[in-house]
Amino acid sequence: MGVTLRSAVIVLAAFVLVACKDKDKENAAKAGQVVTTLAALAEKDCGEIERGLPEGAKSLATLFAKGADPRQDVAAVRTAIKKVRRENMDLNVAKSTFFALTDDKGVAIRNDLDTDVMAGQNLVTIFPELAKATSGYTTTTGSFPPSGPRAENDKDWIAAVPVKKDDGAVGGLFVTGWSYRYFARHLSEALKSQLVEEAKKTGNAGKIPVYYIAVFDKSGVYTAPLVPDVNMKALVEQDLVTKTSGGNYNGTVRIDTMTFGIGAARVAKLGAETGIVILWSDV
């Protein structure tokens, strides 16, 4: 190879290296921007529950009116819950996968799903922090016992408020929630809709960045369905709780042959040391 050609190859290699490094920086910066937006969306989603659940509980109080025992008519309980959700703006758009009514001990009476595997389970035993819900709005996390089709490596976010009897005593709890993996999928789909719309406006319909979203806390990382295992493993190794201890985090991570920008942000309403993380590559 002549000196001129060799020099040209060296220059080209240097140019490619610089271009790659610039692209990595762009992906890291974009990941940081996007995760900030996702964290705000997650706060908004939790806010819908925080506002809507107490109002819904007021409506469900009729199930305990004049000494009535809702356990004697579980079909009416389901109908009432569905009505409350339909008529309450916040609950109507909430991302919850279920709404349920319990008795005063926390034993589930009925939820709003067609098939109720929750009935008869003591939710306070499963999620001890829910005992505080007799005094007001309470959130906690944990895991329902395995039942039916359920993704492995998942966790549940739960919220509850008291439902009062005529005399002001607690008749039961109005409970709702979602799984981390389901919530990650919701965020992923919301972002996809936004990116598709932006691509159409710029004449790049069908071309959107590659990205993966997960919820994290001190117990682990919970990805949206279909995220490759190698990506989840890479996220676990990032120690996101530590990296977000002082605020939002963004950087890069190499996974196999691809470098992603990574952005992580905590979401206080989801729980202590809990947040959202995204892998981003605008290839």
pLDDT the model gives residue 201: 82
pLDDT the model gives residue 14: 40
Q: What CATH code is assigned to 47-179? A: 3.30.450.20
More confident call, 18 vs 217: 217
More confident call, 182 vs 11: 182
**Which pLDDT tens digit goes with each residue over 129-151?**
999 999 999 999 999 987 644 55
Kindly report the average pLDDT of the chain as a whole number.
Answer: 91
DSSP character string of the chain: --HHHHHHHHHHHHHHHHHHHHHHHHHHHHHHHHHHHHHHHHHHHHHHHHHHHHHHHHHHGGGGGGG--GGG-HHHHHHHHHHHHHH-HHHHS---SEEEEE-TTSBEEEESSSS-SSTT-BHHHHSGGGGGGGGS-EEEEE-PPP-SS--SS--EEEEEEEEE-TTS-EEEEEEEEEEHHHHHHHHHHHHHHHHHHHHHHTT-TT---EEEEEEEETTEEEEPTT--HHHHHHHHTT-HHHHTTTS-EEEEEEETTEEEEEEEEE-GGG-TT-EEEEEEE--
User: 12 pLDDT exceeds 70?
Assistant: no
**Which pLDDT tens digit goes with each residue over 229-265?**
999 999 999 999 999 999 999 999 999 889 999 999 9
Report, at the CATH architecture level, how domain 23-43+182-281 is classified.
2-Layer Sandwich (3.30)
More confident call, 283 vs 101: 101
More confident call, 19 vs 261: 261
All structural domains of the chain with their residue ranges: 23-43+182-281, 47-179
User: 272 pLDDT exceeds 80?
Assistant: yes
User: 267 pLDDT exceeds 90?
Assistant: yes
pLDDT the model gives residue 149: 46
Please give the average per-residue pLDDT across 167-192, as a whole number: 97
pLDDT the model gives residue 5: 46
